[in-house]
Amino acid sequence: MTAPLFHVPAGSLSASTAQVRLDGPEGRHAADVQRLAVGEQVLLSDGQGWLATCTVRDAQRGVIELTVDAVAHEPAPALRLVLVQALAKGDRDLMAVESATELDVDEILPWQADRSIVRWRGERGEKSLRRWEQQARAATKQSRRSRVPVVGQLLDRKGLLARAADADVTLVLHEDADQPLREVPLPESGEVLLVVGPEGGVGPEELSALTEAGAVPVRLGRTVLRTSTAGAAALAALHTRTGWR
């Protein structure tokens, strides 16, 4: 079984790190919930590419003392995969965040689409954004990633079009698209923006505006996927084409 992964603050790990004291919420979870014992292995990540393999040398209530056995740094990928996920009801957008993180997405952008039933406003919007961030961090630990994907601020249509104009390739999943995702040329570096609509799909005005901004409507196959699974399926297809970086 793969060793559990815990997060430490950015800048806490380097090639010369020899020992780490894991305390706070992560230490309490390691010591009091998982009850890690002396001699067990643990993975540590700063969420920004550093990953350390460690051995527990002492375990007390709420605190784990670790000896670092090896440290490695994973460089940022040359080709960044960015998921634009429309807000959806019933926590389906949270499911999408979880799956996308497990599938090695680099950034996740919440989108207030025309057909999104859920609306982020004021305190509710801030709370919902924090839930997305927490979901991404939890999925990062579960999938043993060394980098936590960035969760950006909520996009409206204007913000989405601006981001699409800056991307090297923008792909919009749409059931009526003629071009399969597998046929779209991909760059070796830069940014691929993947747009997933809400339950009702991307609206015609949104699709037209995105197409004018240079986006390419694409389809995955014959079936219509839920908003919670479409992004994950597309990311898996992109990884297959790029060799799963």
Per-residue pLDDT tens digits for 196-219? 999 889 999 999 999 999 999 999
Could you tell me where in the chain the CATH 2.40.240.20 domains are found?
A: 5-73
**For residue 116, how many C-alpha atoms fall within 13 Å in the half-sphere facing its CB?**
22
Q: What is the pTM of this model?
A: 0.92
Q: Which CATH architecture has domain 5-73?
A: Beta Barrel (2.40)
Query: Residue 234: what are its φ and ψ, rounded to 5°?
Result: -70, -40
Query: Residue 165: what are its φ and ψ, rounded to 5°?
Result: -65, -30
Low-confidence stretches of the chain (pLDDT < 50) are: none
Per-residue pLDDT tens digits for 41-57? 999 999 999 999 999 99
Query: Residue 34: what are its φ and ψ, rounded to 5°?
Result: -85, -15
Q: b vs e for 164-195, b when ≥16 Cβ sit within 10 Å of the residue's Cβ?
A: beebebbbbbbeebeeebeeeeeeeeebbbbb
For every residue of 190-201, DSSP letters joined together read EEEEEEE--TT-
Fold classification of 79-242 (topology level): Alpha/beta knot (3.40.1280)
Could you tell me where in the chain the CATH 3.40.1280.10 domains are found?
A: 79-242
